[in-house]
Amino acid sequence: MNYDLEFGGETDKYEFFLQLAKKNPGHVLELACGTGLATLYLAERGVQISGVDIVEPMLAYARVKAKDLPVAFIEADARTFESDQRFSMIFLTGNAFQAFLSDEDQQALLQTAYNHLEPGGIFAFEMRNPDGNDLSDEEEEHWGTFVDVDGVTVKVSGSQTYDAEKQIMHWTTVRDWGHRQTTSRIACRFTDVQTLQQLLEKQGFTLENQYANWDQTPFQPSSPMVISVCKKG
């Protein structure tokens, strides 16, 4: 619930995927769907959709929120997920692509997407662009706040350390409730855009568009974010 309060409400992002799904009607799949923030937004607006994630507690909360919506939430690893269902569109968001930290992981994810798309199906995701972000090491600094389920304002701060050889950023996040603190750690790979294009082409995807943000501003080399929309060849 606190995850949703901290990271939810990105309507512009949900609308981007909703409009993409409407242009490619059929059954949609979100990989690494988490608590279903994007999945349920689309489902509530009539899109036939399923979600896959490896973290069962997040899926359990997604199912509670789904109520009577006809959404399937499936516990599985996006690298090894297998289904007989074929989808008109598959997407990841929340920079989830960057959670796949090795060449093998990225290739397995792309293989899953390719295998489960209908011919001509769409694959879409976003990631942070290494050429548009500061990858230098940073000591702990204030990142923001959110209000939790009990109405408490939680202060969020963090630090970052970048492993340039492996292209992996290590973030440490501290959440301070006043009476207690929690610490979490996450690692994300920063793949450069040229390498990404080669990965997609090698897997059989045709890159249709790349955007700098959710309003479909064209991507520039210095854009902090790159949103890729690909088609199965």
Shared domain check, 70 and 12: yes
The model's pLDDT over 196-205, given as tens digits with 9 standing for 90+, comes to 999 999 999 9
Shared domain check, 96 and 7: yes
* Average pLDDT taken over every residue of the chain: 97
Of 67, 95, 221, 105, nearest to 169 by C-alpha is: 95
The model's pLDDT over 36-86, given as tens digits with 9 standing for 90+, comes to 999 999 999 999 999 999 999 999 999 999 999 999 999 999 999 999 999
- The fraction of the chain above a pLDDT of 70, given in percent, is 100
Shared domain check, 214 and 159: no
Q: Is the pLDDT score of 233 beyond 90?
A: no
The model's pLDDT over 144-162, given as tens digits with 9 standing for 90+, comes to 999 999 999 999 999 999 9
**Prediction pTM value:** 0.95
pLDDT, position 33: 98
Shared domain check, 207 and 169: no
Shared domain check, 201 and 175: no
Of 93, 95, 87, 76, nearest to 113 by C-alpha is: 87
Q: Which CATH number is 204's domain given?
A: 3.40.50.150
> Which amino acid, 131?
D
Domain limits at 156? Answer: 134-189
Q: What are the Cα distances from residue 83, in Å, to 28, 43, 51, 125, 183?
A: 13, 20, 12, 21, 36
Shared domain check, 154 and 124: no
The model's pLDDT over 117-127, given as tens digits with 9 standing for 90+, comes to 999 999 999 99
Place of tokens 């082409």: 201
Shared domain check, 108 and 147: no
Shared domain check, 82 and 197: yes
Of 59, 60, 52, nearest to 87 by C-alpha is: 52
